[in-house]
Amino acid sequence: MDLSTKKCVPCEGGTPAFDPKQIAEYREKIDESWNVIEYKKIVKEYHFKNYKQTIDFVNKVAILSEKENHHPVMHVYYGKVVIELWTHSVNGLSENDFILAAKIDKL
Ligand SMILES: C[C@H](O)[C@H](O)[C@H]1CNC2=NC(N)=NC(=O)C2=N1
């Protein structure tokens, strides 16, 4: 199943965050360059030639996030963006995080 073809869906309140087994399963569905941090979030660095390309990418991610109604934390540097994904409403990881990761990697 190509996660990038799925749509993020609002998390019902009370939905539990993914457990380590689910995280391991979904981890295999996204690029290996994503790192799982303490079973709480997934993080990936993107590198660019200059600041304009960096900001162009950030804007594309912002537009995608609005469309999916699922938003990453983005740390923006001169030629690098560090993207952190987790689901705030469950204070951990959900399928939405892995869907958005797959979509971001296709931008
Ligand atoms: C009301 C709105 O749907 C929610 O606040 C959405 C917005 N974007 C979100 N993004 C992320 N990463 N986690 C959320 O729980 C979340 N919730």
| Residue 106, C-beta contacts closer than 8 angstroms, at least 6 positions apart | 4
pLDDT digits (tens, 9 = 90+) for 20-56: 999 999 999 999 999 999 999 999 999 999 999 999 9
Q: Pull the structure tokens for residue 43.
A: 């993080």
The CA 23 to ligand 1 mean position distance, Å, reads 19
The CA distance from 73 to 26, in Å, is 20
- Return the exposure string of 5-14: e unless at least 16 CB atoms fall within 10 Å of the residue's CB, then b: ebebeebeee
The CA 37 to ligand 1 mean position distance, Å, reads 20
The CA 69 to ligand 1 mean position distance, Å, reads 6
pLDDT value of residue 83: 98
CATH of 35-107, one of 3.30.70.20, 3.30.1360.20, 3.40.50.300, 3.30.450.20: 3.30.1360.20
ipTM score here? 0.95
In the chain, the amino acid numbered 75 is: H
What residues line ligand 1, using a CB cutoff of 6 Å?
A: 10-11, 69-71, 87-89
